[in-house]
Amino acid sequence: MIHKVHTCSKVSGKERFKTYIKAIGSGEHTSKGMSREESAEALHLMLTSQASPVQIGAFMMAHRIRRPEPQELAGMLDTYLKLGPNLFSTKNQRRPICFGMPFDGRNRTSPVYPLTALILLSEGQPVVLHGGQRMPMKYGVTTSELFESLGLNLTGLTLKDVQAGFNQHGLAFIHQPDHFSLAESLIGYRDEIGKRPPLASMELIWTAHQGNHLLISGFVHPPTEKRAWEALEVFGEKDLMTIKGLEGSTDLSINRKCITARVQNNVCTRLLLNPREYEFHGKDIDWNNLQTWSDLANAALENHGPLSQSLRWNAGVYLWLSEITDSIEEGLKKAEDAMDSGSAKAFLQELIRWRKNIAQKN
């Protein structure tokens, strides 16, 4: 349900926005949380440039210090739903997995999620990803760069192209610069204030996909996870999973137990995923550069090299979570088969051909 954003023609956006700065920036004893509707309007005023740059910067910093409340995050999601891109499944399409990861990327560990996505796709599981260009504060490697290093360019597509590709192949990548320019306009503030604003927390739990899906959100700190649960309960999400993954992503470590939780119909079940129980244990591969990662990734898709163990572990678990398999053990076997047979790599080539056909038509 979309909550209406309050607007008033008699009072300017700047004047209305002052009330929100006062609400969250008045100090320890007098600051207070915004309602869902107020938070929705505050973000609406920011995205549509009705608040001034000084106001936006002040609000972001104050909100960062006080931390967003669950209903505030839900209000922000309302505004993204209203102003942002929307993606839909076809009537008979399997429900997608929507991965939520930090938009500012990775710079310490080698990502495995693009390869996991390819195995899921090759087994008929739709995947929705979101991201942008390199951005503050981490300026880490992005989803689009990783896929492009494998030969698949997922940028420069219209939302219509993305929807058509999702219908045909099951993969959708919402690229913020291409599909949500209003949100892209706020990126510069992150660098100016020198901190991730609460907007970054909201990005972890946002998806452009409308309808039935499994939302999987990465996190680093326990308070972030708890706020995600509560915000999505307010927002009305019925099935979600939180993952304490590598660098706040949804990538599962093979070096330690991974703390996860599944929330279904507002009931939370804690799940510890221990790779040792499935004879997986090793070092999570350090990030180096795109060329090195591309070499490791291509080898892993053929079940070779140091990244292959991480890929098999992640793909096996996510095949189980998506209910393609009945157990993690079965998921691990299916992931290994997809790597050995080359089906995941063949699916990548199919996506590359699809993308080239679009480029030729344009």
The partner residues of 99 in beta bridges, in order of sequence, read 216
The whole-number pLDDT of residue 258 equals: 95
Domains of the chain: 13-83 (1.20.970.10), 89-347 (3.40.1030.10)
**Cis omega (within 30 of 0) for bond into 137:** yes
Please give the model's pTM, rounded to 2 decimal places: 0.95
At residue 68, what are phi and psi to the nearest 5 degrees? -75, 145
Angle value at C-alpha 330, between 328 and 331, nearest 5 degrees: 60
Q: How far is CA 136 from each of CA 25, 103, 189, 218, 244, rounded to the nearest angstrom?
A: 23, 9, 9, 18, 21
The whole-number pLDDT of residue 29 equals: 59
Q: How far is CA 168 from each of CA 124, 280, 350, rounded to the nearest angstrom?
A: 11, 34, 11
Helix (H) or strand (E) holding 217, with range, is strand 214-218
Give per-residue burial for 278-315: e unless 16+ CB within 10 Å, then b.
Answer: bebeeebbebeeeeebeebbbebbebebebbbbbbbbb
Q: Which residues of the chain have pLDDT under 70?
A: 1-9, 27-31
The whole-number pLDDT of residue 10 equals: 74
The whole-number pLDDT of residue 148 equals: 98
**Which residue shows structure tokens 């490697």?**
141
Count other C-beta atoms under 10 Å from residue 155's C-beta. Answer: 18
Residues 89-108: tens digit of each pLDDT: 999 999 999 999 999 999 99
Residue 35, classed as helix, strand or coil, is coil
Residues 118-157: tens digit of each pLDDT: 999 999 999 999 999 999 999 999 999 999 999 999 999 9
| Long-range Cβ contacts of 175-183 (<8 Å, 24+ apart) | 175/131, 175/132, 175/144, 176/103, 176/130, 176/131, 176/132, 176/133, 177/132, 177/133, 179/84, 179/85, 179/208, 180/83, 180/84, 180/85, 182/47, 182/48, 182/83, 182/84, 183/47, 183/80, 183/84
The whole-number pLDDT of residue 30 equals: 66
The whole-number pLDDT of residue 32 equals: 75
- Residues near 345 by beta carbon (within 8 Å), at least 6 away in sequence: 118, 298, 301, 302
